[in-house]
Amino acid sequence: MFDLHAMTALVTGASGGIGSAIARALAAQGARVALSGSNGAKLRAFREQLIDEVGGDHVEVTCDLSRPESVEELIPATLDTFGQLDILVNNAGITRDNLGLRMKDEEWAEVIQINLEATFRLMRAAAKPMMKARFGRIISVTSIVGSTGNPGQMNYSAAKAGIVGMSKSLAQEIASRGVTVNCIAPGFIRTAMTDALPDAQKEALASKIPMGRMGEGEDIGAAAAYLASREAGYVTGQVLHVNGGMAMLG
């Protein structure tokens, strides 16, 4: 079940905590993975680690998502390397937190450009070869705050909510060609950033979660492996919330 052999995937933000977990999950099921990010050294180190851990034929593709021309080159570069693209995972993103009344234009613009506009460009580019192949999986990592909002994150919440609406629209447009478009909305996930928080703050976060703990990157990786699989072929236009019950959304 969830066998991804003979499938290729592109994962953006692949050297980060959630991105690396998604890449590991797809590779463990047999997919060949193109690892994308802006830090070439980190990508190379992770690629070597991934091959040591699960084997396979994986590559790194450096991309600066703040530059539209670089974004437009990413899908063609992956196709040139692998000859096909079956799975696109839009995971990369940034935060520029500030209260709404104090948010600078550039803080808004940077988050929208990298989190929302780059995702649109990659979706548009990936949909074409997937439609031609009559198979594809487009998966975007959003956030619980795209549904609930969060103080200090008007820009981030807007971008994540925008990805959901964008995904639902594209899902309707290309479903008849065998291409599904879905989102994964993580809640609080344990990463290097959250590990650095004081214990009292981590306990306060965990107290808001019915399961009593933050999620792990592997929880998001497992969701991605499912949505990428052939078994998920009748699931499209959906948001899979992975948040330990913190927000039980329909």
Between vectors from CA 115 to CA 9 and to CA 124, what angle results, nearest 5°?
55
- As separate numbers, helices (DSSP H) first and strands (DSSP E) second, the chain gives 10, 7
Task: State the Cα–Cα distance between residues 144 and 242, nearest whole angstrom.
Answer: 8
**Cα dihedral: 148, 158, 106, 61 (round 10):** 110
> Strand runs (DSSP E) across 79-234, as ranges?
87-90, 136-141, 179-186
| Amino acid identity at 77 | A
Active site residue 156: yes
| 73's tokens | 């080159």
Smallest CA-to-CA distance from 50 within 37, 63, 64 is with: 37
The active-site residue out of 82, 156, 188, 226 is 156
Torsion from C-alpha of 50, 51, 55, 56, nearest 10 degrees: 100
Which residue numbers are catalytic?
156
